[in-house]
Amino acid sequence: METIFIWYGHAAFGLTIGDDRILIDPFLTGNPAATVKAAELDADYILITHGHGDHIGDTLPIAMRTKALCISNFEICSWLSAKGVDTHAQHIGGGHSFPFGHLKLTPALHGSALPDGSYGGNPVGFLLTTPDGKKIYIAGDTGLFGDMQLIGDEGIDLAALPIGDNYTMGPEDALKAVKLLRPRRVVPVHYNTWDLIAQDLRAWKTRVEAETEAEVVILKPGESLVL
Ligand code: NI
Ligand code: MN
């Protein structure tokens, strides 16, 4: 089964796993890096790591139009469900099997207020095991934490890690995260969207590949890779 991972810029992703189309943190409207419009995207599922506007983004209009099932923590699911979209709530440490694979929510060190100021619960990351056993870790917005070592014990094929600094890990801590997670491939995200999170990814790639076994894949917004 082919799994296609696409980066839409910032921390917005798409996954195609078999016939299932999954969006993660679909922030497109107002995203200076986005190469697609929300109205152009189809989805069967939408995964949301936390309530900040640059993550929940266009979730509501896309879910309303496509009837996609929204998956997040309990608090964000309650907020979305009150607005009339279908949801599936989980929480940190909890896993559930969907047609596209087994999804577990992982910790993230960050905030999660929703755009209207509502409480968005704890921010999360996602550990997805596809039906053919590939492991994808989406860290979400987070600082470095030592339990990445435990997540790494799963045998990560692809890790998407924030690297922009200021709001999340910067390059130094993201390198430490790679050492804890030991992924086969890393896609850095959450950088260069705005000047405040500008980073030199070429230098980081060279350093990570010298100090770890991981391959750093620098995507341009709209580019994809096949797992
Ligand atoms: Ni955030
Ligand atoms: Mn963010």
Averaged pLDDT, 156-182: 98
Strand order in the sheet with 45-47: 87-90, 69-73, 45-47, 20-24, 12-17, 3-9, 224-226
Per-residue pLDDT tens digits for 101-115: 999 999 999 999 999
Place of tokens 């929940």: 56
Averaged pLDDT, 58-87: 98
| Rounded-to-integer distance, Cα 142 and Cα 145, Å | 8
Averaged pLDDT, 121-130: 98
Tell me, in angstroms, the distance from the centre of ligand 2 to residue 50's CA: 9
Structure tokens of 177? 């995260």
Tell me, in angstroms, the distance from the centre of ligand 1 to residue 141's CA: 5
Tell me, in angstroms, the distance from the centre of ligand 2 to residue 192's CA: 12
In the chain, pLDDT over 90 holds for what percent of residues?
99
Give residue 55's pLDDT: 98
Residue 200 has pLDDT above 90, yes or no: yes
Tell me, in angstroms, the distance from the centre of ligand 2 to residue 210's CA: 28
Per-residue pLDDT tens digits for 42-55: 999 999 999 999 99
Structural domains of the chain, with CATH: 3-226 (3.60.15.10)
Residue 1 has pLDDT above 90, yes or no: no
Residue 208 has pLDDT above 90, yes or no: yes
Ligand number nearest CA of 110 is 1
Tell me, in angstroms, the distance from the centre of ligand 1 to residue 70's CA: 18
Computed over its alpha carbons, how large is the radius of gyration of the chain? 16
At residue 181 the predicted structure's pLDDT band, cuts being 50, 70 and 90, is very high
Tell me, in angstroms, the distance from the centre of ligand 2 to residue 132's CA: 30
